[in-house]
Amino acid sequence: MANIAKKVSWSSRAEESGVAGERTPLFNGSEQPRLSRQLSGGGSVFQIGRLSTVDLEEEITSDEDSQRGRPKEIPHNEKLLSLKYESLDYDNIENQLFLEEERRMSYMGFRCLEISRWVVCGLIGFLTGLIACFIDIAVEELAGIKYQVVKQNIEKFTEVGGLSISLILWAVLNSSIVMLGAIIVAFFEPIAAGSGIPQIKCYLNGVKIPRVVRLKTLVVKVCGVICSVVGGLAVGKEGPMIHSGAVVAAGVSQGRSTSLKRDFKIFEYFRRDTEKRDFVSAGAAAGVSAAFGAPVGGVLFALEEGASFWNQMLTWRIFFASMISTFTLNFFLSIYHKNPGDLSNPGLINFGRFESDSVAYNLYEIPLFIMMGAIGGLLGALFNLLNYWLTIFRIRYVHRPCLQVMEAMLVAAVTATVSFTMIYFSNDCQPLGPEHTEEYPLQVHTQYTQHEGRLFVSPLLPLVELLLSFSVSLSQLFCADGEYNSMATAFFNTPERSVRSLFHNQPGTYNPLTLGLFTLTYFFLACWTYGLAVSAGVFIPSLLIGAAWGRLFGILLASITSSGSIWADPGKYALIGAAAQLGGIVRMTLSLTVIMVEATGNVTYGLPIMLVLMTAKIVGDYFVEGLYDIHIKLQSVPFLHLEAPATSHWLTAREVMGSPVTCLNRIEKVGTIVDILSNTSTNHNGFPVVVQPAKLCGLILRSQLIVLLKHKVFVELARSRLTQRKLQLKDFRDAYPRFPPIQSIHVSQDERECMMDLTEFMNATPYTVPQETSLPRVFKLFRALGLRHLVVVDDENRVVGLVTRKDLARYHLGKHGLEELQVAQT
């Protein structure tokens, strides 16, 4: 997809941006009301093989600043990547301090560190499971209160012909709850909007997203998703669990909270990007496990997003965190449901048990499943395209926090109104027979009232199990005693319960017209909802849409075949449809296959689900990228895919490197270092260290230089203070991850004349490549080693260029995004 009208960022905080005073739009399409920068005018397109002429570091000039009031245009190609994002320093900085510390550590010390990693992973799984349990209980309790209020109102006003009052109350309650969730997201922590999966995908890919793993983000995320689900939006609470687990992992592994300014003096060794990213992988996997009860699927989800960084022991630790997470959730929910020890509900969503007899399939059904996968890919592509253009509209016009809150309230009111209207005009009344006792376990005593010529059933139920009783009462709207409304069952149940009923209800439970209308309506509601300034996921809406049209597909098959009742089971096709729709939207294959198999509790459908997901991805990718990839590209994130572009072998490091390179001498003047770090026109984060004549001897990072300046590690001061404490790695870890800006470091005029010896602190063995190295080889080095900088040298080891993540991502956009960019510019 083409990038849109301006550079965008998931953070609205100016101090995170790297350019003073610049604010950028948010992930869900929102932006701060002022100071957004916009390019206008003509610009050249990418010239493949001439990418080194593209200046990603170019500053916006005063002439461009004066054009902020002009109509907004698509940015030029050199601005396709945002300067807000930096790479993680996943590769260890092997300087003298690091090597001395490692050499001093005994074998027992390394064993203790390994045990500590297992303890941290266990804590991550436990806390993630507790958060999932809290969300589930809070949603159930708050929804019960809301349902009780609406139920009493229905009973009160229906007898006097006031059904419209019940509708208004329902819409107002939903809008009010959603308003609360939107306010805390839009005004307090915009990064918490959406599911958070795109941000975590970027973090696992090696991109540092500002504020994505903060404690404040977690609090807003949890409260926001509760409000979104209770407010009746077409969302799920499962997706945000991945983000929540990642935040928990980032906090626990550091042994302190920078937000609360509390340092517990534990796990100090893990205060670096290398360790932190590994633990965030465990947190994301624990979130998947808590959401779907799929520990293996959680491991594979993290593996798909960061496969090149993994090792066997890390895989086991992540699996351990996933198992602890699902067990914790299961255990505490069993206590809440007054059945302690019953561990039969491992995740927030339970698809129910698929017995082997009911899910049997034949060889001739495989083509039908593949065809359903193609349908899912087409519908997923349509969903993603609509959401893409809707996101562009939001970025351009719905960018103020107050407008975002108003839009969320509007969507909540429209969702309630459409649902009530669909139920009102639906005549799909089904008998409430013995086969429905699992879904409707309470006996219903009804009294009949007449409203506008239609029969309405008002239930008189005890005030127990309010959520279930409200589902029963609304499911009997406008139906006779002993019957229920199928449309109400689909709309007014929780999304998880609706998915389960579509999977397991007996044939004949749903009318084809009901399923068709529900699919169409919920499709557009879910598309409109995703991207609001609320915390919410897209997994459950996708499953619900797919289960509805999949069940419809099975009903139609049964109606056109003489033996349809034997093999065309609607529940079986509902499962395949759910997988096809979800795969068509998010385009995950390996992890999603295992998640679906684990959630169903039956491996029988492993092959059909895999075929369906692969088909949905192939068909969908022909039209548009996956939903998460679209939103990542809309944010101009330098995201690196698993492989380099297929047509890039003829390109070399010379064509993609940045040049000229700002280098430092091994013994450098303090004033020179301060001036380089203060230069906002470059804002470089890595500097090759050279000895004359420009021969490479090491690499040092901006964060290291700032710590050295802060502690005034100058050659003259070291000579005059014989008792001066030697700088240790602990000093760098204490400053991690929020290194102070260079503007906060005071350097006097006399100190500017001092010298700084970088020998002890620089990485003396940085990775280098010659100029003729092919682009795919450079790409593999970045992905396999988690590099942030790759120095390009000539035959005499002189620095001639520097390759960064943005250089590689820029080529990918230039090669494959040119056509889309030209379309967007027109």
Tokens of 825: 């510019």
> Residue 798's beta-bridge partner residues?
695
Q: How confident is the model at residue 569 (pLDDT cuts 50, 70, 90)?
A: confident
Residues 708, 710: Cα–Cα separation, whole Å: 5
HEC profile of 131-146 = HHHHHHHHHHHHHHHH
CA 107 to the chain's CA centroid:
39
pLDDT at 721: 62
Q: If you ran DSSP here, which 8-state letter would residue 12 be given? A: -
Q: What phi and psi, each to the nearest 5 degrees, are found at residue 793?
A: -125, 165
Residues 54, 816: Cα–Cα separation, whole Å: 16
Go through the domains of the chain in sequence order and give each one's CATH number. 34-85+646-824 (3.10.580.10), 107-336 (1.10.3080.10), 363-634 (1.10.3080.10)
More confident residue, 505 or 547: 547
Q: What phi and psi, each to the nearest 5 degrees, are found at residue 667?
A: -115, 105
Q: What is the DSSP string of 508-538?
A: TSS-HHHHHHHHHHHHHHHHHHTTSSSB-BS
pLDDT at 567: 62
Q: What phi and psi, each to the nearest 5 degrees, are found at residue 762?
A: -80, 155
Q: How confident is the model at residue 193 (pLDDT cuts 50, 70, 90)?
A: very high
Residue 392 has pLDDT above 90, yes or no: yes
ω into 459 cis (within 30 of 0): no
Closest-CA residue to 429 (of 486, 469, 481, 504):
486
Q: If you ran DSSP here, which 8-state letter would residue 425 be given? A: T
Residue 801 has pLDDT above 90, yes or no: yes
Is residue 533 within 8 A of residue 193, CB to CB? The reply is: yes
Residues 394, 32: Cα–Cα separation, whole Å: 12
HEC profile of 658-676 = ECCCCCEECEEEHHHHHHH
Residues 236, 506: Cα–Cα separation, whole Å: 25
Is residue 7 within 8 A of residue 733, CB to CB? The reply is: no
Q: Left, alpha or beta for 265 (phi > 0: left; psi -120 to 50: alpha)? A: left
Is residue 699 within 8 A of residue 77, CB to CB? The reply is: no
3-state secondary structure of 194: strand
pLDDT at 812: 66
Q: What is the DSSP string of 317-361?
A: HHHHHHHHHHHHHHHHHHHHTT-TT-----SS-------TTTT--
As a 3-state breakdown, the chain gives helix, strand, coil percent values, each rounded to 5, of 55, 10, 35
pLDDT (tens digit, 9 = 90+) per residue, 286-323?
A: 999 999 888 999 999 888 776 555 678 888 999 999 99
Q: How confident is the model at residue 790 (pLDDT cuts 50, 70, 90)?
A: very high
pLDDT (tens digit, 9 = 90+) per residue, 356-374?
A: 566 677 888 899 999 999 9
- Give residues with Cβ within 8 angstroms of 106, minimum separation 6: none
HEC profile of 22-69 = CCCCCCCCCCCCCCCCCCCCCCCCCCCCCHHHCCCCCCCCHHHHCCCC
CB burial class (10 A; 0-12, 13-18, 19+) of residue 651? buried
Q: Which of 490-499, 651-660, 766-775, 802-811 has the highest mean pLDDT?
A: 766-775
Residue 256 has pLDDT above 50, yes or no: yes
For residues 403-431, average pLDDT:
85
Is residue 583 within 8 A of residue 592, CB to CB? The reply is: yes
Q: Are strands 86-87 and 429-431 parallel, antiparallel or unpaired?
A: unpaired
Tell me, what amino acid is at 176? Answer: S
Q: Which of 114-123, 147-156, 209-218, 329-338 has the lowest mean pLDDT?
A: 147-156
Residues 25, 308: Cα–Cα separation, whole Å: 31
**How many Cα atoms sit within 13 Å of 614 on the Cβ side?**
8
Q: What phi and psi, each to the nearest 5 degrees, are found at residue 293?
A: 65, 40
pLDDT > 70 fraction of the chain, expressed in percent and rounded = 77
pLDDT at 548: 93
Q: Are strands 755-757 and 695-701 parallel, antiparallel or unpaired?
A: unpaired
Q: How confident is the model at residue 811 (pLDDT cuts 50, 70, 90)?
A: confident
CB burial class (10 A; 0-12, 13-18, 19+) of residue 722? exposed
Is residue 473 within 8 A of residue 488, CB to CB? The reply is: no
pTM value surpassing 0.85: no
Q: Which of 186-195, 494-503, 710-719 has the highest mean pLDDT?
A: 186-195
ω into 660 cis (within 30 of 0): yes
Tell me, what amino acid is at 146? Answer: K
ω into 737 cis (within 30 of 0): yes
For residues 346-351, average pLDDT:
78
3-state secondary structure of 477: coil
Is residue 187 within 8 A of residue 214, CB to CB? The reply is: no
pLDDT (tens digit, 9 = 90+) per residue, 469-488?
A: 444 445 455 566 666 667 77
Residues 499, 292: Cα–Cα separation, whole Å: 13
Q: How confident is the model at residue 566 (pLDDT cuts 50, 70, 90)?
A: low
Residues 655, 657: Cα–Cα separation, whole Å: 6
CB burial class (10 A; 0-12, 13-18, 19+) of residue 160? exposed
Q: Please count the helices (runs of H) and the strands (runs of E) in the chain.
A: 32, 16
Tokens of 600: 């169903």
Q: Which of 446-455, 482-491, 671-680 has the highest mean pLDDT?
A: 671-680
**How many Cα atoms sit within 13 Å of 650 on the Cβ side?**
5
CA angle, residues 260, 266, 270, in degrees to nearest 5: 95
> Residue 652's beta-bridge partner residues?
774
Q: How confident is the model at residue 181 (pLDDT cuts 50, 70, 90)?
A: very high
For residues 414-443, average pLDDT:
65
pLDDT at 659: 87
Q: What phi and psi, each to the nearest 5 degrees, are found at residue 16?
A: -90, -15
Residues 92, 102: Cα–Cα separation, whole Å: 12
Task: Report the sign of the C-alpha dihedral through residues 621, 624, 625, 628, in that order.
Answer: negative
Q: Which of 136-150, 221-235, 392-406 has the lowest mean pLDDT?
A: 136-150
Residues 315, 295: Cα–Cα separation, whole Å: 12
Residues 61, 538: Cα–Cα separation, whole Å: 40
Tokens of 765: 């063995």
Residues 559, 565: Cα–Cα separation, whole Å: 9
pLDDT at 810: 79
For residues 180-204, average pLDDT:
93
Residues 693, 797: Cα–Cα separation, whole Å: 10
Tokens of 668: 């450098």
For residues 627-633, average pLDDT:
92
Residue 756 has pLDDT above 50, yes or no: yes
Is residue 406 within 8 A of residue 176, CB to CB? The reply is: no
Is residue 185 within 8 A of residue 222, CB to CB? The reply is: no
Is residue 541 within 8 A of residue 523, CB to CB? The reply is: no
pLDDT at 432: 66
For residues 432-454, average pLDDT:
39
Mean pLDDT of the chain, nearest integer? 79
Residues 572, 535: Cα–Cα separation, whole Å: 31
Residues 160, 451: Cα–Cα separation, whole Å: 8
For residues 386-405, average pLDDT:
93
> Residue 668's beta-bridge partner residues?
756
pLDDT at 158: 62
